Every structure is written in structure tokens, then in C-alpha cells.
Amino acid sequence: MNKLVLLILVFVFVACNNEKPPVAAVQTRTDGLDLSATDSIELYHYADPKDQKKFYKKFITDTGFIQQVIKNLQEAGIEKTSCENDFKMFLYRNGEVYKTIYAATPDSCRYYAYIIDGITYFKPLDDSAVRMLKGQLPH
């Protein structure tokens, strides 16, 4: 009887001590992010990232724009950041949304971000990418 109680206690201890490993600050994994079939992008811009009820929306089929976004997302990962995104892009293939990409364009905090298997990956957003995104906004 004592052995059975001890066995149950060991089982409970092992089951409750199942912690997830810490997430690295820089994510370098790129597998699983095949964006080559993207045929259009639904772009959202939030002038105030804290108020995402007010936005500008544009549907983009320009292959040059799409290919540049894909190229930028193939860069090496960068340090995790906590600033809010002011752009959101829904990537489409064959009329279906299949990936969401986030972007922050302020000078103090720039990135592209996407999620795979619950992990957020950050990629660099350079000056030309910022100009490209902001170039889609009405003047």
C-alpha cells in the first residue's frame, strides 16, 4: 500500500513539473514560412496602434510589393521587441488568408513579425521597407 502511494506521489510530482523551456530572445528558425504562393495582401495601417478600430485598408496585388515583403521576411531574426505594430498584413493565396504579418515602422522600433506554432519571430524592417509600406497610404 505504501509503495502505491509513493508511486502516485512520484507520478503527480513529475506530471506537475512539466515546465516549458524558455524562449530565446532571437529566433532564427525560418522553416515553415513558405510565402512563395502569396498572390495578394490585405494591408491595414493603424495611425494609432492603441486604437485598432480606426484603420486604413488597402488590397494589394502588385507582385513587386509582394516579392519585396517576402524577401524582407527571409532576413535573419532580430531581438524580440515589445513596441506595438502599426501595420498588419493578411497574406492570401488562392483567395484564402494563410498568414498574418505584423510590422512596426517608428524609428525607435522597427520590425516585421509573424507567429509559427505559438512563437513570435521578429525580422528587420529597413528604411526602404518602411518607405514601401508607407507608400501604400493615401497622401
pLDDT, tens digit (0-9, with 9 covering 90-100), for 32-67? 678 999 999 999 999 988 888 899 999 999 999 999
Give CA torsion, residues 46, 57, 121, 105, to 10 deg: -50
Distance CA 113, CA 61 (A): 21
Averaged over 118-128, what is the pLDDT? 91
24: amino acid identity, one letter: A
Domain ranges (residues) in the chain:
27-134
Helices 127-134, 63-72: crossing angle, 10 deg rounding: 140
Strand order in the sheet with 56-60: 56-60, 40-45, 87-93, 96-104, 111-116, 119-123
Least Cα distance to 130 among 94, 92, 86, 95 occurs for 86
pLDDT, tens digit (0-9, with 9 covering 90-100), for 92-104? 999 999 999 999 9
